[in-house]
Amino acid sequence: MIVLLQSDLIINKLNNNHYHLSNQMTQSLRHGFKLSLITVSILSAQQIIHAEEVQSLATITMQATSDQTEQSSEKSKSYIVKNSASAAKLNIPIKETPQTVNIVTRQQLDDFALTSTRDALSNTPGITVSNQETERSTYTARGFEISNILTDGTGFPSSSYNYNNTNPDTYFYDRIEVIKGADALNSAFGDPSATIDYIRKRPTQDVQANVGISYGSWNTQRYEADISGALDKQGRIRGRLMGYEQTGDSYLDRYSSEKNGLSGIIDADLTDSTLLTVGYSQEQNKPNANNWGALPLLDANGKQISYNRNYNPNPDWAHWDSKTQNAFAELKQKLNDQWTAKLSYNYTETDHNSSLLYYYGYPTETGADISLTPWGGKENLKRHFADFNLQGSFSLFDREHEATLGYSYMQSKQHDQETSGIINDQNILQDLSQGYLRQLTTNWASWTPQSVTWSDYSEAADYSQKTNSLYAATRLHLNDDLKLLLGVNYVQAKSKGDSYGSSVAYDENKLSPYAGITYDFTPEYTGYMSYTSIFRPQTGVATDGTPLKPIDGESYEVGFKSAWLDEKLTGTLAVFRTEQSNYPLRSSDGNPLNRKVETSDLRSQGVEVGLAGQLTDHLNIAFGYSQYSLKDLKNGGDARTYNPNQTLSLLTTYTIPTLPKLKIGAALQWQDAIKQHDSSVNSTMTQDAYALVNLMSSYDLNDHISIQANANNVTDKKYLYSFPDGQAFYGAPANYTVAVKFKY
C-alpha cells in the first residue's frame, strides 16, 4: 500500500527563565519605511499597469496557477474555502476531509483588523491563545499545545512547551488554515491538538494595488502597501510586492513597539507545464519595556493580587528585538493530465537580541521579597526544509482515486549566548541566605531598577537537529459516496548538542499510520471517522537518571459535515478522543500535592461544532464552540486547569441592502473559568469566565477608496491571560482603530 512518512523537529525548550533574543532593527529602515512603501507602490504600479493592457494575450495552461487562483480567499472575499491540502497533503474538498478544518480567510482578517497571527488565532474556534508574556505565547487546542505551525504546508514543530517566540503579521497571508487533531500525514511528531498552516498570498494575473493607512489607540500607526500583477506582455511572469510598518505605545506603562515587514514573490511559467515560484520576506520587531515572565499573582499569604490594568514593572532598558528572514522556491512540473511533481525549498533564519528582567515570588504586604533576575541573550536559529512530492490520480476498478507520495528533509541549527546582570539600585536587598545571591524588592510598587552591571557573553546553547521523512497517502473512491483515506509517514530524527546545561540528544524513528473514511449520506451531509498515531521524542531525563521515553498515543475523531446554499454555508459537528503516554508534567499541571509520577498518561475528549459562510447574500458568519475534558489518568483529576475547557467564537458582518456600500459587523470571544493551584502557598489563582466584544464598520466612498472603523473590547472587560507559570498580565481595555484604504 502506499506509505506516508513525515518529519518533525523538536527544539529543546530553553529554561523557562531564558528568553530568546534578536538583532536590532536598523534605524534607516525604520524611519524610511513608511515613505518607501508608498513609493514602491507607485513605481511598481507603473510597471504593472502596462501589463494590464495585454492581459488578454496571456494563455496560462499550468494547472497549478489556476489552482492557486481558485483557492484564493482574497479573490473570493468569502468566509470559507472549499478545498485544502493542509490535512492530508491531498487537495481535496474540506467537506470530504475526515478532520475538523477551520479557516480564517483574508476577508475575516480585513473585516476585523486582525493584523497579528495571535489575534487571528484568538478568533479561531477551539483555539486558546495564552499570552504569558507580551512577546511570547502558547497556542492550545483540545487541551494540548500546538507545536505544528506551517507555512504553505512546511514548517518546524515548536519547542517542548511550545512558546511562540514570534508573532508574524498577517499581511503576507491569504488565509490561515487550522486542522484539528493529530496529523500524522503532515507531522509524525508533535502534540495532537491541531496544525496551523499559514497560506501565503501569491501573485495575480490581473493588476491590483492596495494601500492602507490606519491610526488607533495609544498612538498606533500602521502603513500597508500591496502591488501585484503581470510583469511581461504575455503574462507568463507575475510578481507581488508587499510591505507594512506599525508603531505605537500601549495601555501598559512604558511599553512600546515597532515592527515592519517586506515580502516579494515571483511566479514564472517556464513552459506551459512548468511553474517556478521564488520568494523572500523579512520581518522585524522591536518591543521596549516588554515582559519576561509576568506579574506574580499570589502574595505571601496566598491571596490573589489585583493590579491596575496598565501596571508594568519592566524598566525602560528592557527589549527583545527580533529579525526573521525567509527565502523559498517551488518548482511544479505537470507530468500529464493526472500527475504533478513539486520540488520545494525553504530557508528561515531568526535572530533575537535582548536585555530582560525576570521577577518572581510572593510579595509581602509591603511589596518586598520579589526576586529580580536581569538576563540578556543573543540567539541565532537557522532552518532548512526540502520536499519532493508527487501528487495525482489513478484509475482502479473503473474509478478515479487520488494519491501522493514524497520525501522531506529538515535541518536546524541553534546557537545562543547569554549574559547576566547585577542591579545596582539602593532599594534592592542583596540576599545570600539560600547560598546564592538573590536581589529582592523592598517595595514592589515603587522600585526602579535602572542601573545594571552586565557580565560578558558566554555560550548557552549549541545544538543541531535533522529529520528525514518518507510519506505516502491515497484516497480510494469505493463508490460514489464512500471514500477511504489511508496514509503512513516514516520519520527518522536525530538531535545532538546542549541547551542551557541540558543535553538535547536523541536518535529516534517511527512509522505513523493515518486512516480516515467519509460517507455522503446526501449531497448536503457527509459523515466521517479518522485515526492517527502520536509520536514525539523527548530530551529530558527522569529523576532516576534514565532518559524519558518518547511520547506516544492515538487520536480519534468522528463527525458530520454539511454544505448548504450551493455550498456557500458549511457546518461541522465533531466528537474527538486523544490519549497520550509518557507525557511530562509541569509543576502547574493539576494539583501538584496529589502527584505520584513525573510523567503521566493524559486523555482529552470532547465535542466541537462550527458554522461558516454566507447565511444570506448580505450576511457572513464564522461561528464555533468547543468543549472538552482533560484527565490525568495516573494522578487523577483534571490536568491543565489553566486552559479553558469551553470556548466560543463568532465573527459576523452584514451589508445593509438599502446602503450596499455600508458594512457592519461584530465579533465575540468567550471562555469559561480557569484556575491553577500553587502548592508553595497552598492557594489557587483564578480567572472567571468572560466575553470580549469587538465591533466594525466600513463604507466604500467609491470604487477605489473605503474607510473603516474597528472597536475592540467595547465593554472594557478586565481579564487576565492564562497563567501556566503562576504569572499573568491583563488584556487590553477598550480601544479603537480607524483606517483609510485604497485599491486599484
| 9 pLDDT above the threshold of 50 | no
Q: Tell me, what's the pLDDT at 503?
A: 86
| 85 pLDDT above the threshold of 70 | yes
DSSP state at residue 675? E
HEC sequence for 233-260: CCCCEEEEEEEEEEEECCCCCCCEEEEE
Q: How far apart are CA 242 and CA 10, in angstroms?
A: 32
Range of lowest pLDDT (188-192, 197-201, 471-475, 476-480): 188-192
Q: Are 431 and 483 in contact (CB under 8 A)?
A: no
Our CA angle for 648, 654, 660, nearest 5°, is: 165
Q: Tell me, what's the pLDDT at 161?
A: 58
Q: In degrees rounded to 5, what are phi and psi of residue 593?
A: -65, -20
Q: Are 330 and 360 in contact (CB under 8 A)?
A: no
**Residues forming a β-bridge with 404:** 391, 473
Q: What is the number of other CB atoms lying within 10 angstroms of the CB of residue 681?
A: 16
Band of pLDDT at residue 598, cut at 50, 70 and 90:
confident
| 25 pLDDT above the threshold of 70 | no
Q: Is the full-model pTM beyond 0.85? A: yes
- How many angstroms from the chain centroid is the CA of residue 632? 27
**Residues forming a β-bridge with 711:** 695, 736
Band of pLDDT at residue 591, cut at 50, 70 and 90:
low
Q: How far apart are CA 738 and CA 216, in angstroms?
A: 6
Q: What count of Cα atoms within 13 Å lies in the side-chain half-sphere of residue 235?
A: 19
DSSP 408-447: EEEEEEEEEEEEEEEE--TTEEEE-TTSS-EEEES-TTT-
- Cα four-point dihedral sign 19, 291, 383, 122: positive
- Cα four-point dihedral sign 41, 46, 47, 51: positive
Longest dimension (CA), the chain: 84
Q: How far apart are CA 18 and CA 574, in angstroms?
A: 39
Q: Are 662 and 697 in contact (CB under 8 A)?
A: yes
Q: Tell me, what's the pLDDT at 184?
A: 67
Band of pLDDT at residue 281, cut at 50, 70 and 90:
very high
When pLDDT is averaged across residues 404-427 and rounded to a whole number, the result is 92
Range of lowest pLDDT (288-292, 471-475, 532-536): 532-536
When pLDDT is averaged across residues 229-250 and rounded to a whole number, the result is 96
Buried b or exposed e, range 571-606, using 16+ CB within 10 angstroms:
bbbbebbbbbbebebeebbbbeeebeeebbbbbbbb
Q: How far is CA 30 from CA 26, 35, 135, 243, 651, in A?
A: 6, 10, 20, 12, 34
Torsion of CA 151, 156, 157, 162, to 10 degrees: -80
When pLDDT is averaged across residues 418-447 and rounded to a whole number, the result is 86
Band of pLDDT at residue 70, cut at 50, 70 and 90:
low
| 635 pLDDT above the threshold of 90 | no
Band of pLDDT at residue 179, cut at 50, 70 and 90:
very high
Q: Tell me, what's the pLDDT at 649?
A: 97
- Extract the C-alpha cell encoding 276: 517556478
Q: Tell me, what's the pLDDT at 428?
A: 87
State the chain's mean pLDDT as an integer. 87
Q: What is the pLDDT of residues 184-215, one digit of tens each?
A: 676 666 668 888 999 999 999 999 999 999 99
Band of pLDDT at residue 473, cut at 50, 70 and 90:
very high
Q: Tell me, what's the pLDDT at 38?
A: 42
Instruction: Provide the percentage of residues in the chain whose pLDDT is more than 70.
Output: 87
Range of lowest pLDDT (57-61, 438-442, 560-564): 57-61
HEC sequence for 318-355: CEEEEEEEEEEEEEEEECCCCEEEEEEEEEEEEEEEEE
Q: Tell me, what's the pLDDT at 534?
A: 85
Q: What count of Cα atoms within 13 Å lies in the side-chain half-sphere of residue 447?
A: 27
Q: How far apart are CA 10 and CA 537, in angstroms?
A: 7
When pLDDT is averaged across residues 593-622 and rounded to a whole number, the result is 89
DSSP 692-733: EEEEEEEEESSSSEEEEEEEESTT----BPP-TTSEE-BPP-
Q: Are 560 and 526 in contact (CB under 8 A)?
A: yes
Q: What is the number of other CB atoms lying within 10 angstroms of the CB of residue 644?
A: 22
When pLDDT is averaged across residues 278-299 and rounded to a whole number, the result is 94
Q: How far apart are CA 328 and CA 326, in angstroms?
A: 7
Q: Which residues contact 537 (CB under 8 A, 6 or more apart)?
A: 10, 189, 493, 495, 506, 508, 550
Q: What is the number of other CB atoms lying within 10 angstroms of the CB of residue 680?
A: 13
Range of lowest pLDDT (67-76, 168-177, 264-273, 573-582): 67-76
Range of lowest pLDDT (53-57, 162-166, 450-454, 634-638): 53-57
Q: How far apart are CA 410 and CA 156, in angstroms?
A: 8
Q: Are 179 and 194 in contact (CB under 8 A)?
A: yes
Our CA angle for 285, 223, 716, nearest 5°, is: 75
Q: Which residue type sits at 118? A: R
- Extract the C-alpha cell encoding 566: 450551493
Q: What is the pLDDT of residues 347-390, one digit of tens each?
A: 999 999 999 999 889 999 888 899 999 999 999 999 999 999 99
When pLDDT is averaged across residues 220-230 and rounded to a whole number, the result is 98
Torsion of CA 350, 356, 358, 359, to 10 degrees: -140
DSSP state at residue 13? P
Q: Tell me, what's the pLDDT at 599?
A: 82
For strand 458-477 and strand 92-93, is the pairing parallel, antiparallel, or unpaired? unpaired
